[in-house]
Amino acid sequence: MSIVNKSALLFLVALVVLGLISQSADAVTIPAWCTCSNDSTKTQGSCNYAGANWDGGSCGLDSLSKYNVFLQVCATTLHGQYRCWH
């Protein structure tokens, strides 16, 4: 392997590592529990629509797709602000 090929390979590896680091900063940790505007009616509605687990006070989200649906319904349809924790 020539010096140019080794340099190109190291550069590519560095780009991949930087890409993975930047993606992990935005990654969602699942499972997550969320509320919609600290309003149990809005939270329950968003949770039911997402097909997630309503526990009487918060919504348990066990997949990224359910998480995304919950946030979309809460923020867009119900005009709420969500709060999530892990």
Burial environment of residue 72 by CB neighbours within 10 A (0 to 12, 13 to 18, 19 or more): middle
Q: DSSP secondary-structure letter at 39?
A: -
- Residue 8 amino acid letter: A
Give the residues across from 84 on adjacent strands. 34
Judged against a pLDDT cut of 50, whether residue 38 lies above it is answered with yes
How far is it, in rounded angstroms, from Cα 43 to Cα 3?
A: 58
Could you tell me the pTM of the whole model? 0.68
| pLDDT level of residue 55 (50, 70, 90 thresholds) | very high
- Asked if residues 48 and 61 have their Cβ atoms less than 8 Å apart, the reply is no
Domain locations in the chain as residue ranges: 1-27, 32-85
Judged against a pLDDT cut of 50, whether residue 44 lies above it is answered with yes
